[in-house]
Structure 1
């Protein structure tokens, strides 16, 4: 497969794609969620459960691949996860009903979790300090391209195919990424790996939970992600079913909000970690209050879109700093630390997604977003003073 390389450009490109795997798998078929419910002749909440299933797989899979990568290195577990992703994606195409699709989405999410967790661990293997924050800022910016490109691409694909065509495309993407991954050089040398047995290596997942700073950074990120996933899960039904936006118009709105997320993460990677977290937390609270108000009032669709735009900007602002702070706090067990970060964020997302489908989707989405922002602020207060001293 050619010479293995770890040049910065190659790493940024490949790790950016790998870390965006989860969001891309989630967002590509978002415009088809209403059609998916019609295809399987089921309730919209069941189609939303395919989102929940994927995120549960993403969450729990990281608890598996994190310690495994600390034990066996990054490259081999990454290749295995990509192989399972490709197989599960092909099997989804032949789902006879919504229940089998939900089950396969768990497997697909679990497999794609390897890409997400190992990409973060590789960054921690190779970088530290402000350089690591800047790299995470770059990765977060690339991740922002997923919610920009995928729903637009999904909307365009709906004109020529159905949801199955989107999963065929995901399978081809998986094959292409796997071929590039063969050129990735191992970043965790044998002497740096966990020397205990594989079973014993899972104990580090519990040991890192004793680090209060690490847990706090992860909780702030998780509640921020919960607010974002509430928007992701609720927006197709709000924009398309209630306001009657076409799939293309919805894709453009989603793209604008993805651009806001990119702008926020790009700016956050340039600020000091303390300033980025403070600005993001306070900005999210203010934006969540505005979003909740316009949703409850069922205001003009463009007033709602402005709120979502500013909300994603605020969330993006704090995420690179929180990722860098958390990984730096548990550098010794980078794989397990990355696993816990991913597990918590996607678990929160999985719990939030079906909640916005209960009752009136406007009230439910407003409530979840506002509570997520409020809990983010609650978690921030105990570490606010310490963060002001961090450069």
Structure 2
């Protein structure tokens, strides 16, 4: 028999926020492990005698790591509990951060970046499922938006912080710093994370997993939502992965200047999350998502200028900053709707969502890398715009299935 579920929380207090704060601290650690190391990537590929064109692959493999375990973690946490699975994930991430500082080849560096990426599996399939189960809808969206603002401090300050670390010491200290943050997060999760798992009594076997996942994948409304979520953020992830090449290698910026030019993009993302937190609960969710689509498409439409003037990287930063406002407004609201678009257990649904999104991110980054190699910034922009258009089309289908014709 399933265990008794906790009553979802509708009012926020310091006590009820301690679990989200501990989770977002771990999320911050996983993000900043990406963002702080980016300014060091030209140095790292040179150290291991690797061509700079392989720089984005480090992020692609990290994202693939974020998709690798979700298929088992969601159903596993449905049965044995979210909390123990989450704590194992944090421990694995800390191990990867320590181990990577001893590598002696780029292949091993990529392997441990992949292993670090598995930390995102636990956040998506376990941590965020627990958040959605712990709070009522409007409160869950508000908490998710607030968490996103904290997590987004990592990409906002990460590149600049990483550049500053490189001014005084080696890249290895970046991962030592990240491991310390993750250790603090582990202590908070151990103390404050509630157990929201339904504790299903059905055995965990391949047949039951296949049945559960096929039920989710056959849900067209869910699939439209998952595809939209993935392609909404894909251009931003592609920018993060290729920014060292576009800004440092092509434009010739220093590591410090590279960090400064990342700030407008992630400030836009934070602004979008602040807007979402302010209006959720007073405006229907589908109207919030439609509203966020305006700056989203405006920003990527403006980036078309790069096709005619590919060296105008400042224009690319400006257009991405506008598009990021829309991403911040859309993501948390759409994540909530997609998670509850299927009646399957939330661990399984969250895992499926995470796998789809991470695969879209990884493929998008690799396509953007190839397009940039072939056609420079113009090629990069074309891939990003195609991703944005795919997101809008999938989002229209998702909202129509959720709310009817009015939501289009």
Output the TM-score relative to the length of structure 2.
Answer: 0.87
Q: Which moved more, 1:136-145 or 1:212-221?
A: 136-145
CA contact (8 A) 1:21 1:116 kept: no
CA contact (8 A) 1:218 1:341 kept: yes
For residues 1-59 of structure 1, what are the alpha-carbon distances to aligned partners after superposition, in whole Å with 9 as ceiling and x for unaligned?
A: xxxx9922212311222344442232221111222221111112323211111110011
Superposed, 1:6-25 pairs within 5 Å as 7-25=15-33
Aligned length: 384
Alignment match, 1:275: 287
Q: Which moved more, 1:194-203 or 1:35-44?
A: 194-203
Alignment match, 2:248: 240
Instruction: Return the offset for 1:370.
Output: 0.7
CA contact (8 A) 2:145 2:332 kept: yes
Alignment match, 2:153: 145
Q: Distance in 2 between matches of 1:124 and 1:325?
A: 11
Alignment match, 1:197: 203
Give ranges in structure 1 of 5+ residues lacking alignment. none
Cα distance change, pair 339–169 in 1 and its aligned pair in 2 (3 A): same
Q: Distance in 2 between matches of 1:294 and 1:373?
A: 16
Cα RMSD (Å) of the superposition? Answer: 2.2
Secondary structure of the equivalent of 2:244?
helix
CA contact (8 A) 1:56 1:346 kept: yes
Instruction: Return the offset for 1:332.
Output: 4.9
Alignment match, 1:356: 368
Alignment match, 1:74: 82
Cα distance change, pair 295–244 in 1 and its aligned pair in 2 (3 A): farther
Q: Distance in 1 between matches of 2:308 and 2:62?
A: 29
One of 282, 293, 296 as aligned partner of 1:284: 296
Secondary structure of the equivalent of 2:104?
coil
1:34 matched to 2:42? The reply is yes
Q: Distance in 1 between matches of 2:170 and 2:364?
A: 26
CA contact (8 A) 1:20 1:146 kept: yes
Alignment match, 2:10: none
1:373 matched to 2:363? The reply is no
Alignment match, 1:48: 56
Alignment match, 1:157: 165
Superposed, 1:243-262 pairs within 5 Å as 243-262=251-270
Cα distance change, pair 95–217 in 1 and its aligned pair in 2 (3 A): same
One of 315, 325, 330 as aligned partner of 1:313: 325
Instruction: Return the offset for 1:98.
Output: 0.7
Secondary structure of the equivalent of 1:90?
helix
CA contact (8 A) 1:281 1:373 kept: no
For residues 188-237 of structure 1, what are the alpha-carbon distances to aligned partners after superposition, in whole Å with 9 as ceiling and x for unaligned?
A: 25xx2222112255332332122222221111100112111111112221
Cα distance change, pair 318–114 in 1 and its aligned pair in 2 (3 A): same
Moved over 6 A (4+): none
Alignment match, 2:305: 293
1:118 matched to 2:126? The reply is yes
Alignment match, 2:350: 338
Instruction: Return the offset for 1:299.
Output: 4.6
Cα distance change, pair 282–133 in 1 and its aligned pair in 2 (3 A): same
One of 140, 147, 154 as aligned partner of 1:132: 140
Superposed, 1:376-391 pairs within 5 Å as 376-385=391-400, 386=403
